[in-house]
Amino acid sequence: MRSLYFKEKIKFTGEQLVPHWTYMNFDILGDSIIAFIGPCELEEKYLIGIDHLKKKTQIRSEMMLHFLVEHFELDLEKAVLRQQLLVSILKDKLNHRLKGDVFQRWGNDIYEEDFKLTVSTVTKTSVSTKIHLGINISSKNVPVKAKGLSDYGIDPDDIAEVVMNQYRLDMRRIKEKLARTRSIGS
Amino acid sequence: MRSLYFKEKIKFTGEQLVPHWTYMNFDILGDSIIAFIGPCELEEKYLIGIDHLKKKTQIRSEMMLHFLVEHFELDLEKAVLRQQLLVSILKDKLNHRLKGDVFQRWGNDIYEEDFKLTVSTVTKTSVSTKIHLGINISSKNVPVKAKGLSDYGIDPDDIAEVVMNQYRLDMRRIKEKLARTRSIGS
Amino acid sequence: MRSLYFKEKIKFTGEQLVPHWTYMNFDILGDSIIAFIGPCELEEKYLIGIDHLKKKTQIRSEMMLHFLVEHFELDLEKAVLRQQLLVSILKDKLNHRLKGDVFQRWGNDIYEEDFKLTVSTVTKTSVSTKIHLGINISSKNVPVKAKGLSDYGIDPDDIAEVVMNQYRLDMRRIKEKLARTRSIGS
Amino acid sequence: MRSLYFKEKIKFTGEQLVPHWTYMNFDILGDSIIAFIGPCELEEKYLIGIDHLKKKTQIRSEMMLHFLVEHFELDLEKAVLRQQLLVSILKDKLNHRLKGDVFQRWGNDIYEEDFKLTVSTVTKTSVSTKIHLGINISSKNVPVKAKGLSDYGIDPDDIAEVVMNQYRLDMRRIKEKLARTRSIGS
Amino acid sequence: MRSLYFKEKIKFTGEQLVPHWTYMNFDILGDSIIAFIGPCELEEKYLIGIDHLKKKTQIRSEMMLHFLVEHFELDLEKAVLRQQLLVSILKDKLNHRLKGDVFQRWGNDIYEEDFKLTVSTVTKTSVSTKIHLGINISSKNVPVKAKGLSDYGIDPDDIAEVVMNQYRLDMRRIKEKLARTRSIGS
Amino acid sequence: MRSLYFKEKIKFTGEQLVPHWTYMNFDILGDSIIAFIGPCELEEKYLIGIDHLKKKTQIRSEMMLHFLVEHFELDLEKAVLRQQLLVSILKDKLNHRLKGDVFQRWGNDIYEEDFKLTVSTVTKTSVSTKIHLGINISSKNVPVKAKGLSDYGIDPDDIAEVVMNQYRLDMRRIKEKLARTRSIGS
């Protein structure tokens, strides 16, 4: 599994969820996690949750750190479990930087009390599953009660690197464990 | 998914990993998470990791809080991902009780610095996947550098309940999300 | 699995086969069976069988009782087996009301001798499988030799409820059986 | 899918559920349905339902017509759905012979009112799934309130042939339908 | 699995990769391998490899013998393995006709030294997997260094028949082997 | 995927087919192909083909080059397809060394005319699929009409290395292709 922290701004609109987007833009072939910074403004056709689609939920943020994961495998439940893991990793790294138990995971979101820091989605394409996880850098003009990395003085570049490293490490460990596990009789 | 906190002592030997053990002992049918307290002394034939089997690793603890999960589904990778989630939940609940960033997850184990608190395994039976996660209550006579709940004054009964509730909640949310997610066109 | 008998008329055109249609229209999330009454006039683009598509078969009926099932699972063969079960249930309930062995299942259709009472299709979306089963209420102007519920004095409201109840019951029993079944050695 | 009606008596003990039993005894390779007549006396180790195993349920009958199905495929839910279909077919053929609505399917059993006519099980081996369906010929000495084919003057040889033919026909239609079905857009 | 050698010219543009194309054009239902002769000129929207799509690779040939395979099954890795087998079969049949070790398989292509003879692709539709394998008859005006059947005096009609027969035979043997194989204990 | 050519003699009895044998003996974790030289004398309990088991076929050879493959994945059909590929690779390498079209693949065996050179089996364990392919070095005392590498002056060490390299290369290419392939719209 490869990773990349792309240093130029990209606006996340949802079109990044199409299959092979990472290959088409960065020549990274196969399972990958990439990170980049940019605004978030989800186009309606990329609203993945049907409840969001029905309510035409506005999903936007002035400036976010985005993680984008693609696994070439089609099991959506597995992708949802990986999304949970990615959110947990991000939450743990944030707490670690503040040396406290400041942030909580609720489902696939990160909160400090009732301040929301993240948006996240997971979907299935015809050849892969994809995860998006965005965390506010700025919390200005977010349509819900929100905070962002800059409110805590947390460096997005550092977070981007440690989260991607941890996710790749966990994925490698999981793969190895599959080859190390015995089944149990009747 | 049902849960049960069984209040009598049970020694965890590994035989609890056979399929339908929860049904045979507690009449709980279907996916389940149960918790109980007791010593841990793994019999060699129940060493699931082939590295442990090869080295005949001693896995034992005088007193542990045990979680035992069974899902009637055969995908081992999914079970490993659920194990990661269960370990994350336990770790978060522990940190929350100490109001700090005390415990870390390393793979599927929980540490405070280099003190190990847990053992965990995941395996596949012919009809289900099973997860065991045990956390020391006492850290005496553990064959590695260890700590336990009693070293922190954490109540195992409370932990048992909140971890099981959170795991069930996350499983329910995941299942609902599968029905709420749109796929994305090529 | 949830069910709903919707009392207003809906014309079945095939567009009801798109994923999440039941959620978008009735806020029912997850696996479901719903029933409603209305004409049937299948648009060509919703002809699921390639033989029908090739021959541009006309599928229409003045008034039908429709069943619409969605399972968030992608195995088409399983969906076809469930379709057979749904057709069997409907046929049994009809015979039961007439206290006789009047109706036969041929594949996924119900006949009295060479009078056809039903149309049925099963398909796969990107996130689910769907079953449609419609039974004539009126048999007028159907393009094949046909009969309908009104020819037998059978009440569609009653049939709708008992068929949905039986299908849900069978689905629950099947799910429970999966957790109750041992595998067999060598 | 091949079928065979074996004319010599075989006692059904459960050992017929091991994989490849039909090949080892009749040289029939691949998916198959066979039928034979004989007593039923299930050995405890072949009790497939864990509830039966726990209660050590006695499953026996003096004389039964047995159907034994093997599919070289591992999806247990699919096997359960096929079991439902096989039971439905048998029930329909019985009703047809009595020209009435005499027998009902309850789950995977056939009843006339509260008289039970059948036993059935479905299981998973390491390489296949298997279904057993036995219907009493004699209803004497059955440990529950029971009836059998001889109580209705129904010929087991005829039933054996028509049930196997219908099951094979349905399996072939299902397979063809998989190749005839279009999916439906998002 | 059925096969057909269609004797009229068809230009391969990629549109033949849509599901059910073989049924819609030749009434062949289910898994199939067909062969035909014609030019190859791939339209951009049918470029399956994302590297080809990105570079807008020109894939064309004046005259080719085309094989087109459809399996109603969705596992892309299995389709890729079958593609390898199909390419191996074609290569072996070519060598056999020249009574030498003239042609080599590189991945899914056939070469004589650095002369390329074939193009091949494999893809997944919503209901099936499809393989295309084309071998030059003429090697004129191919955009890479190429040879074709006419350079060796090999008869395309003969090759078409023996390759299809061998592929069908191998598929049948594989299916039978699945029913003949025992699993092995822990 | 790792590989190893082990230089000490090992007698192939079938026990090498149990899961994790390669890890337990050579500390190679995960998917692997290994090669070694030794006699072949299959114990009856390791006869995988049920036809062999039924006939108690003698499978033995005085001296063979053995390939042993393990993939931590459970799809037997995929394993059979990989076995075909492995046999093709071996056959191609042999022909290449003799610069001719001497050897043919029949199913999963290699022949020169009616002289058999190989034995091969494929099976499924509870956690993996395994392939064995053995080619005679000596053809003395083989229970069928046979030839071996020494009859052709072919060096087993060279063959071992090139076959393993080619198999690993093909597996890597296949994996990459899965991430490079677009699906095609209906």
Residue-level pLDDT at A184: 92
Q: What are the tens digits of pLDDT across the range B18-52? A: 999 999 999 999 999 999 999 999 999 999 999 99
Q: What is the mean pLDDT of residues E140-159?
A: 94
Contact C50 E24 (CB under 8 A): yes
Task: Name D16's Cβ contacts closer than 8 Å, sequence gap at least 6.
Answer: D10, D66, D68, D132
Residue-level pLDDT at D144: 87
Residue-level pLDDT at A123: 98
Residues in chain D whose beta carbon is closer than 8 A to a beta carbon of chain E? 19-20, 23, 29-31, 72, 126-128, 175-176, 178-183
Contact D76 B127 (CB under 8 A): yes
Residue-level pLDDT at C186: 61
C-interface mutation test, from B27, B178, B186, most C Cβ less than 10 A away: B178
Band (pLDDT 50/70/90 cuts) for residue D7 is very high
Band (pLDDT 50/70/90 cuts) for residue B143 is confident
Here the ipTM equals 0.96
Residue-level pLDDT at F186: 60
Q: What are the tens digits of pLDDT across the range D67-102? A: 999 999 999 999 999 999 999 999 999 999 999 999
Cα C182 to Cα D45: distance, rounded to the nearest angstrom = 10
- Smallest CA–CA distance, residue D54 to chain F, in Å, is 26
Task: Name E63's Cβ contacts closer than 8 Å, sequence gap at least 6.
Answer: E37, E38, E39, E136, E137, E138, E148
Which of A20, A23, A182 shows the shortest C-beta gap to E186?
A182
Q: In the block, which residue shows the tokens 């389940």?
A: B32
Contact B23 D50 (CB under 8 A): yes
- Kindly report whether the global pTM for this prediction surpasses the value 0.90: yes
E-interface mutation test, from F47, F50, F71, F181, most E Cβ less than 10 A away: F181
Closest residue in E to F104 (Cα) is E92
- Smallest CA–CA distance, residue B54 to chain F, in Å, is 7
Arithmetic mean of pLDDT over chain E:
96
Statement: residue D142 has pLDDT above 90: no
Q: How many CA atoms lie within 13 A of F127 on its CB side?
A: 27
pLDDT tens, chain C, 186 aa long:
999 999 999 999 999 999 999 999 999 999 999 999 999 999 999 999 999 999 999 999 999 999 999 999 999 999 999 999 999 999 999 999 999 999 999 999 999 999 999 999 999 999 999 999 999 999 988 888 999 999 999 999 999 999 999 999 999 999 999 999 999 986
Which of F126, F127, F183 shows the shortest C-beta gap to B186?
F183
Statement: residue D140 has pLDDT above 80: yes
Tokens of B25: 């002992």
Q: In the block, which residue shows the tokens 């092979």?
A: A20
Of residues C131, C13, C31, C33, the one with CA closest to residue C77? C131
Which of F54, F124, F186 shows the shortest C-beta gap to D127?
F124
Q: What are the tens digits of pLDDT across the range F83-104? A: 999 999 999 999 999 999 999 9
- Smallest CA–CA distance, residue B82 to chain A, in Å, is 7
CB contacts, 8 Å: B125 with chain D: none
Q: Which helix (H) or strand (E) holds E86?
A: helix E76-98
CB contacts, 8 Å: A185 with chain E: 186
Q: What is the mean pLDDT of residues E77-93?
A: 98
CB contacts, 8 Å: C52 with chain E: none
Q: What is the mean pLDDT of residues D153-163?
A: 98
Q: What is the mean pLDDT of residues A8-36?
A: 97
Which of F76, F96, F183 shows the shortest C-beta gap to E181?
F76
Contact B122 A181 (CB under 8 A): yes
Residue-level pLDDT at D113: 95
Q: What are the tens digits of pLDDT across the range C38-72? A: 999 999 999 999 999 999 999 999 999 999 999 99
Tokens of B9: 């002592």
Statement: residue E186 has pLDDT above 80: no
Contact A30 F179 (CB under 8 A): yes
From the number of C-beta atoms within 10 Å of its C-beta (0-12, 13-18, 19+), residue B46 rates as buried
Statement: residue E145 has pLDDT above 70: yes
Q: What are phi and psi of A141, to 5 degrees?
A: 60, 20
Residue-level pLDDT at F133: 98
Total beta-carbon pairs less than 8 A apart between chain B and chain D? 12
Cα E132 to Cα E116: distance, rounded to the nearest angstrom = 16
Band (pLDDT 50/70/90 cuts) for residue D186 is low
Contact E126, F180 (CB under 8 A): no
Arithmetic mean of pLDDT over chain F:
96
Q: What is the mean pLDDT of residues D9-19?
A: 97
Of residues B8, B31, B10, the one with CA closest to residue B19? B31
> Can you list the positions of beta strands (E) in chain A?
2-5, 32-41, 60-71, 104-106, 109-112, 115-116, 118-124, 129-136
Contact B95 A95 (CB under 8 A): yes
Contact A50 C20 (CB under 8 A): yes
Arithmetic mean of pLDDT over chain D:
96
CB contacts, 8 Å: F26 with chain B: none
Residue-level pLDDT at B144: 87
- Chains touching D (at least 3 CB pairs under 8 A) are B, C, E, F
Contact E124 F183 (CB under 8 A): yes
- C42-58 as b/e: b if 16+ CB within 10 A: beeebbbbbebbeeeee
- Smallest CA–CA distance, residue F61 to chain B, in Å, is 31
Q: In the block, which residue shows the tokens 């469930």?
A: C82
Arithmetic mean of pLDDT over chain B:
96
Residues in chain C whose beta carbon is closer than 8 A to a beta carbon of chain E? 50, 54, 76, 124, 126, 186
Residue-level pLDDT at D22: 97
CB contacts, 8 Å: B127 with chain D: 76, 124
Q: What are the tens digits of pLDDT across the range B133-142? A: 999 999 988 8
| 3-state percent breakdown (helix, strand, coil) of chain E, nearest 5 | 35, 30, 35
Low-confidence ranges of chain F (pLDDT < 70): 186
CB contacts, 8 Å: C126 with chain E: 126
Contact B174 A126 (CB under 8 A): no
Q: What are phi and psi of D109, to 5 degrees?
A: -125, 160
Which of E20, E72, E182 shows the shortest C-beta gap to D127?
E182
Chains C and F touch (3+ CB pairs under 8 A): no
Arithmetic mean of pLDDT over chain A:
96
CB contacts, 8 Å: D75 with chain B: none
Residue-level pLDDT at E143: 82
Closest residue in A to E185 (Cα) is A185
